[in-house]
Amino acid sequence: MAIRLSRTFILRKLHQLSGIVPLGAFLLEHFYTNSKAMTGAGDFNKAVAELQSIPYILFIEIGAIFIPLIYHAVYGLVITIEARPNNLNYPYPRNWFYLIQRLTGVILFFFILFHVLNFRFGLIPNLNISVAHAPDQAFDIVAREFRLIPIAIIYVIGITATVWHFANGLWLFMVDWGIAIGARAQRLTGYACIAFGVLLLAVALNAMIAFIRPGGLLGGILY
């Protein structure tokens, strides 16, 4: 017997899947590359140059990052507009997480737009130069940006919102795709996602600090 899947169901599943692969996977790769700043400008610039020298990089970026990102972002905003929060009547943690997933999605929309226009395309007026187009200056460009307090604040908020959205999204995905079944499994998976989120946030913020203080917070201990 053929099973007919509704259009909304397929769009919803694609939205969930795109949050994990490719977007979540890309996020991990991105934090890994950023963490190269811990061992100095040379290592970070080399990592940026290597990424930019990948054959067909523009097509890979468009197909594996920009298109899934635009799909996930636009459909995510549609889901958010349709949401009817009822947190004051039902103040359960899961209900707050539902609301925060949508709020962080909206923050991410503006943050990623700003971030991509700024570092990838150099289109934010104060910068005028793109990291991707000048890998040999990549570290200095980022370091100059992070020394501006308003920009640093935007990045701390944006990175925190991204990590929350991804860690909670991972949990939502595991529950929705039948990977964490049953109350106990969902509770334990929830703790694991919180631990993962805290660790990922520490790595991401430490990479950011490494552009201003050599080695990041762990400079002098690890290096």
Q: Which string of x and - marks every residue 184-213 that binds ligand HEM (by CB under 6 A)?
A: ------------------------------
Task: Return the residue of 11, 20, 103, 134 that touches ligand HEM, per CB under 6 A.
Answer: 20
Q: Which string of x and - marks every residue 100-139 that binds ligand HEM (by CB under 6 A)?
A: -xx--x--xx--x---------------------------
106-115, long-range: CB within 8 Å, 24+ apart, which pairs?
Answer: 106/77, 106/80, 107/157, 107/158, 107/161, 108/73, 108/158, 108/161, 108/162, 108/165, 109/73, 109/76, 109/77, 111/154, 111/157, 111/158, 111/161, 111/162, 112/69, 112/73, 112/158, 114/154, 114/158, 115/158
**For ligand HEM, the closer CB: 68 or 216:** 68
**For ligand HEM, the closer CB: 170 or 209:** 170
DSSP assignment letter at 54: S
41-100: which residues touch ligand HEM (CB under 6 A)?
A: 72-73, 76-77, 79-80
Three-class secondary structure of residue 99 per DSSP: helix
Question: How far apart, in whole angstroms, are the C-alpha atoms of residue 195 and residue 24?
Answer: 16
Q: Please report how close the Cβ of residue 12 comes to ligand HEM at its closest, in angstroms.
A: 6
Binding region for ligand HEM (CB under 6 A):
16, 19-20, 23-24, 27, 72-73, 76-77, 79-80, 101-102, 105, 108-109, 112, 162, 165-166, 169-170, 172-173, 176
